[in-house]
Amino acid sequence: MAEHQTSPGTVRPGTPEAPPHVSAVAVTGVVFGACVMGIVGAFHAIAGLSAILNENFYQQQNDYPFDFDVNGRGWVQLISGVLMVAAACALFTGRTWARIVGIVFAGLSAIENFLFTPYYPVWAAIIIVLDVLVIWSLTVYGKPQAQKVYGA
């Protein structure tokens, strides 16, 4: 008895939907974004710890409207760093919400580093560029297919 064959674009009833083609570049972009976001988050956490443990680590800037308390800035950086690392780990689940959270945290990180520019301009510029790369890599990927392929 011969099996009933279907054309490549159709799905037989009762069978899981075949995932559409996802380019390797898109998947690699999400992995790249997750790894870079984890590294940026670790950098934030280290910079935050530096500010918390040594109040003289960052010098006060004269006439800078966004010159915040060094200890408060350290706590903000530490918390944002830990959240970024957690979001980077969540990206490996392939969930859409993880990509949205990753994009939001990378955007907030870019803003945070923009405010950090007078303290360390080159460092802040590098982190802003990395944040933009993370946002780009997470937005070029279409719908995550890991849920359909692995049933997650």
Q: What's the confidence (pLDDT) of residue 10?
A: 52
pLDDT at 21 over 80: no
- Band (pLDDT 50/70/90 cuts) for residue 19 is very low
Q: Which residue has the higher pLDDT, 63 or 6?
A: 63
Pairwise CA distance, residues 35 & 28, whole Å: 10
Which residues have a Cβ under 8 Å from the Cβ of 48 and sit 6 or more positions away?
Answer: 73, 74, 75, 76, 77, 78, 79, 80, 81
pLDDT at 24: 63
What integer is the mean pLDDT of 63-80?
79
Predicted local distance difference test score (pLDDT) of residue 31: 87
Q: Check: CB of residue 48 under 8 Å from CB of residue 74.
A: yes
Q: What is the crossing angle of helices 96-115 and 24-53, to 10°?
A: 40
Q: Which tens digits make up the pLDDT trace of 115-138? A: 888 778 898 899 999 999 999 888
* pLDDT more than 70, % of the chain: 67
Q: Chain-wide mean pLDDT for the chain?
A: 77
Q: What is the pLDDT of residue 26?
A: 61
Q: Is the pLDDT of residue 81 over 90?
A: yes
76 or 5, greater pLDDT: 76
pTM of the model: 0.70
